[in-house]
Structure 1
Amino acid sequence: MSTNDNNVALNNYLQNTGRLASLSWEDKSDGPRHGPVWTSYCKINDVVMGTGTGSQKNAARDAAAGQALLALKAQDAAEEAETAAE
């Protein structure tokens, strides 16, 4: 698994569901310049759906994207089940 797999999967999922424009990121670094720790927040419609940390920004974003993708799929499945029950 490469460092961007979750990010690519999230982008594909959002594109397929017509929500790619709702994606935004907030990135922060902490620590010394030679060894920062990045924290990335993956937001969908300005709601944090995933958080990730890493020694590189792309690794932090990928971790956050993985969390966000799981949360979105669970949310979409719950909405689908609710609609089917009506």
Structure 2
Amino acid sequence: MEGHELIRAVGESLYGDHWQRALARDVGVSDRLVRFWAAGDRDLPDTLPPRLLTLLQDRGHTLCNTTRLVEQFMNRDD
């Protein structure tokens, strides 16, 4: 997988179709730079994949916790 494919896959997974601005905010760069990465015009810095992994893991934990809340709600005694 190339860097531009990775950044697009992560961005779309985390934020949906309009992901560039949100991802830029969360990694602390301009959305213009994110668009350069996504187009393959610039290489991803070595520091970016670990940051992307952290964002994905954080989202995964949030989703798991929210899933448990829904399960608890569904299983509550009225």
Give the alignment's TM-score, normalised by structure 1: 0.45
Q: Name the structure where helix makes up a greater proportion of residues.
A: 2
Structure of larger gyration radius = 2
